[in-house]
Copies of this chain bind each other. A is one copy, B any other.
Amino acid sequence: MDRFNHLEEHIDEGMVMIQANLDDMNPEMTSYVMDLLFEAGANDVFWVPIVMKKGRPGMMLNVFAHRDRLAELKEIIFRETTTLGIRYSAWTCHRLGREKVDVNTPWGTVTVKVGIFEGEAVQYAPEYEDCRRISEKADIPLKKVYDEVRFRYSVMRESRNNQL
């Protein structure tokens, strides 16, 4: 297994969560800002609906990243959103090991992402884009594609276990 489809389980104590409350930003821009933040190295970006001062509905931007990325991410938030201030605090993250496994289906191959916790595969998820492509090409419901991939992955894993 080469390094492109394997990531070791690890704990990283150098993470930061950056937050900004936005009450006067055009929500059309949220996906644009998300893209810029991911390009600048954010590990995750998400929004939380909130109720702000004077009962104004607003959105809290959350950016999770390594602290090495802090300066660059702050600059993007200040330049691209309308906030006058941001806040951040230190967090630790614990990421599972990841493996990618190819699963054959009647309509083509789908990659399954497997999560490894202390050496054991505790979860797996078919790649959305692979499944979507098949769904559109073969004109079958997306959920059926997911089921088929899960089914075949289970068979594969079971037969491998039996061989051991």
Contact = CB atoms under 8 A, between A and B. Distances in A.
Contacts of A154: 147-148, 151
Contacts of A132: 32
Contacts of A155: 151
B51 A46 contact: yes
Interface string A124-152: 01001000100100000111001110110
A80 B141 contact: yes
* Number of copies of this protein chain within its complex: 6
Interface string A88-119: 11111111101000000000000001010100
Q: On chain A, which size bracket covers the interface?
A: 35 or more
Contacts of A125: 24, 82
Nearest to A52: B46
A53 B82 contact: no
A128 B28 contact: yes
A160 to B, nearest CB: 15
A49 B57 contact: yes
Contacts of A33: 142
Given A34-B53, A78-B122, 20 more contacts: A24-B125, A29-B142, A32-B132, A38-B53, A46-B52, A48-B48, A49-B57, A51-B57, A78-B123, A79-B141, A81-B143, A82-B143, A84-B98, A84-B123, A85-B94, A86-B93, A86-B94, A88-B94, A89-B91, A147-B154
